[in-house]
Amino acid sequence: MISGVLLVGIAVAIFVGFNIGGSNTGVAFGPAVGSGAVSKLAAAGLMSVFFLLGGWTLGRRVVDTLGSGLVTGDPFTMQVSIVVLLFIGLALFAGNVFGVPASTSMTAVGAIVGLGLAIGQLRVDAVLEIVGWWLVAPVIGFWVSAVVGRYWYDRLVERMAINRTEGALVTFDTSGGIPKPELGPNTTPRELGGTLLVVAIGCYMAFSAGASNVANAVAPLVGNGAITMNQGIFLAAGATALGAFTIARRTLDTVGNDLTDLPLVAALVVATVSASIVTVLSALGVPASFVVIATMSVVGLGWGRATVADAVPDTPRVPASSMGVPVESADAPATDDSPSAAELYQPATTARVVVLQNVVPAIATVVAYVVFRYVPIV
């Protein structure tokens, strides 16, 4: 018979996974929905499948790190697990409510670090390794995106620009015995290829989200042996799917509408770079912040475009924004009020976003330390 405390722990884990599904679905499939490549329902379905795939393959390593790699001994009683999950869930909820994209992984690590400090069982070497990757990964994202923006972005725009036409992308010829797929009446091969690429990158992002975020929902429960690894992955994936099919619809509306005013190619570059870095870190068992890496990738792309504008003053530009950080692009003709190169990205806004993304995990660490140190929970 399942105890009442375990039921509470599972309910809190579902709450965390629900919020993960609500926030990550918009990030992963916003470009695809905004460009009309897939519907919200299809985006939720793809998110559910690829999130589970990422959690089932690479996510196990991150679960091991959060569940047993940061604190020695066996500190995760059910009560402690519930409190840690509440920290993570409330941080996500606050981010969704106030529009501040808090890092789930950084908040989870912060709460567990606070626990380890409070009981004197923190593995400092493991924490320092993770923090080191947190410092390096955004820099890598910045420079990779900057190189793309400086040298290859214009070529990518020429090759990947998608102009959606009326009607279905693909139709089926049913005149024979077996239906044969054909291009729609107004569809070009380039349009079909670009649309498939947008959807494929969304699936890749969903995979990376599963690899890094499944641990945030269930690592404490798996760490204390209340549920098995496989049960935890299915629980997290199911809760994420619930969020993807419900509250993510609003997120997809917001992101999709925003993306109609920004270059789709820029969003795809940032998504690919960020998802790749997060996937590699997840394979190493490092909890990674997609939000921070994506933010710095956006800044790097904008900085790379700024160097082009400085080198060639007549480079056409048009304002754009992505993931909360203003950048500029060369996807449309310049106007009389086109910004200068110095305005192609905004360091002050970038600094504000990065600071806010780091404040929440820091608060989680301090509050977790105070709670676990002075409240009789452990």
* DSSP code per residue over 14-68: HHHHHHHHHHHHHHHHHHHHHTTSS-HHHHHHHHHHHHHHHHHHTHHHHHHIIII
β 318-322/170-173 pair status: unpaired
Q: Using CA atoms, how far apart are residues 103 and 360, in angstroms rounded to an integer?
A: 8
For 8-27, letters b (16+ CB in 10 Å) and e give ebbebbbbbbbbbbbbbbbb
Amino acid at 249: R
The torsion angle over the Cα atoms of residues 285, 248, 250 and 347, rounded to 10 degrees, is 10
Element (H, E) at 171: strand 170-173
Full domain range(s) for residue 192: 4-374
- Give me the sign of the Cα torsion angle 249, 251, 253, 259: negative
User: What tens-digit pLDDT sequence spans the chain (378 residues)?
Assistant: 567 889 999 999 999 999 888 878 888 888 788 777 788 999 999 999 999 999 999 999 999 999 989 999 888 888 899 988 988 888 777 766 665 556 788 889 999 999 999 999 999 999 999 999 998 999 999 999 999 989 998 888 877 766 666 666 666 667 766 776 766 666 677 777 777 888 999 999 999 999 999 999 999 999 989 999 999 999 999 999 999 999 887 767 655 444 434 477 888 888 899 999 999 999 999 998 887 888 788 888 888 888 876 565 544 443 334 343 334 333 443 333 333 334 445 566 566 666 766 777 788 889 899 999 988 765
The count of domains in the chain is 1
Contacts of 132 (CB under 8 A, 6+ apart): none
Q: Using CA atoms, how far apart are residues 298 and 285, in angstroms rounded to an integer?
A: 25
CA Rg value for the chain: 22
